[in-house]
Amino acid sequence: MAAVAESCPQPEDPIVVKKQQSPDMTIRSESTAETSVDAASANHSTEDFNPFMNAAISSALAGVHQEHGGPFGACIVKNGVIVACSHNMVPTNLDPTCHAEMNCIRQACKALSTHDLSCCELYTTCEPCPMCWGAANWARLRKIHIGCTRQTAAKYGFDDEFFYQELDLPHDKRAIKHMKGIMSDQVRKVFEESHTYKKRLRSGGGILAKIYQQMFLDDDSITPSDDGKGQGMTCTDEWMQAAIEVALEGQRKGESKEREPFGAIVVKDGVIVGRGYNTVLRDDDPTATAEVNAIRAACKVENSYKLVDHELYTTTEPDPMSLGAIYWARLNAIHIGVSQKLAAAFGHPDGLLHYKELETDFKERAIESEWNVMADGCENVFKSWKKLQGILY
């Protein structure tokens, strides 16, 4: 998933940055949160000036002073050169996905004309939320350098911890209602007829097919019952049919990497206000999933970064990045066709792998991470924001 391309040249160490010790990242509970902050303090690296993190901090401060959004900044570096630098622009752009890291990933991809940033590293003033870590996975970033932790952000009212806690909960316990198994047979049919699936490993036989079988198919998770068939059937099937049609349109146009059959729509008061299919290839934008595109389109129509009282219909369970976008957009409910496990079985395992990445200890993740880089300087951005009476958006 996030493997670095072998041909990708290593940076020539233009600047030696002292390697920081990762904090103990068992930080999913209240009690461990404090431990993590303590670890951050113990390992803080104020004395170790890092020019790239400094650029991220400068952008964050610029955003705070211009009242662009929350006190977060990021930059992306390739071979010792900054190729993108941005800060939070959610309220300014009226777009709930415009976190500093997402902006940077989009900018860097535009600058380098690619959706693959496996030669690049991300510097971010604060621990990425699940949406942004998922985006880093989609972009295949090599490494993430992090300033302060989500616990530091929480001290100033930015509690991304909530989103991490939501990910740990089963679907039926989450704050946003998940209605599963909507027209799952029809959505499955779209996957079955996908050309990508036909050329995938599973149909090739041999050892790879066997491994694939073990990874994704020796699992009853793709049976209709586990897909939640029968649950949440109070919504109208017509909306899911509309999402399927969007997915088929996307597949026909071939604007995604592999003609993935993913489609999503946003509905309010019986009217579709946004629709989207995967356009990663067309836009050179690894964040351009069906759900993110549908949400951004709906926000344009509604002229707001909040989609309260809106509901999203998606052919497939959202990946972590798209789920993060759904949470940040404050959608009321998600109606899901089939699970990520089913998508994986049909040759699209990324979403499932991204969930596994977030469940995995930081030291074992596909993307390497460095913590507490100029942590005090990064926390100072929050202090400036507070001093200027910045508002929680």
What are the residue numbers of the active site?
Answer: 101
129 lies in the binding site for Zn ion (CB under 5 A)? yes
Among 99, 142, 296, 348, binds Zn ion (CB under 5 A): 99
Q: With contacts defined by CB under 5 A, how many residues of the chain interact with Zn ion?
A: 4
Residue 239-268 contact track with Zn ion, rule CB under 5 A, x = bound:
------------------------------
- Taking CB under 5 A as the binding criterion, the range among 51-59, 103-111, 132-140, 200-208 that sits at the site for Zn ion is 132-140
Shortest approach of Zn ion to residue 76 CB, angstroms? Answer: 14
CB 337 within 8 A of CB 187: yes
Q: Scanning the structure block, which residue is given the tokens 């460095």? A: 370
- Collect all residues with Cβ–Cβ distance below 8 Å to 68 and sequence separation of at least 6: 62, 87, 88, 89, 91, 92
Shortest approach of Zn ion to residue 158 CB, angstroms? Answer: 10
Among 132, 187, 323, 342, binds Zn ion (CB under 5 A): 132
Q: Which C-beta is closer to Zn ion: that of 99 or that of 348?
A: 99
CB half-sphere exposure, 165, CA atoms < 13 A: 10
Shortest approach of Zn ion to residue 124 CB, angstroms? Answer: 9
Q: Which C-beta is closer to Zn ion: that of 131 or that of 373?
A: 131
**Max CA pair span of the chain:** 63
Alpha carbon 51 to its chain's center: 26
d(CA 194, CA 78): 36
Shortest approach of Zn ion to residue 129 CB, angstroms? Answer: 3
- Taking CB under 5 A as the binding criterion, the range among 93-101, 145-153, 189-197, 259-267 that sits at the site for Zn ion is 93-101
Shortest approach of Zn ion to residue 99 CB, angstroms? Answer: 4
305, two tokens: 């970064």
- Taking CB under 5 A as the binding criterion, the range among 3-11, 95-103, 268-276, 332-340 that sits at the site for Zn ion is 95-103
C-alpha separations of 209 from 1, 75, 100, 219, 264 in Å:
18, 40, 40, 15, 30
d(CA 265, CA 321): 17
Beta strand 120-126 pairing with 143-148: parallel
135 lies in the binding site for Zn ion (CB under 5 A)? no
Q: Report the helix count and the strand count for the chain, using DSSP H and E.
A: 17, 10
- Taking CB under 5 A as the binding criterion, the range among 19-27, 99-107, 177-185, 264-272 that sits at the site for Zn ion is 99-107
CB 392 within 8 A of CB 72: no
Residue 288-307 contact track with Zn ion, rule CB under 5 A, x = bound:
--------------------
Nearest to 111 by CA among 137, 146, 136, 81: 81
Residues that bind Zn ion (CB under 5 A): 99, 129, 131-132
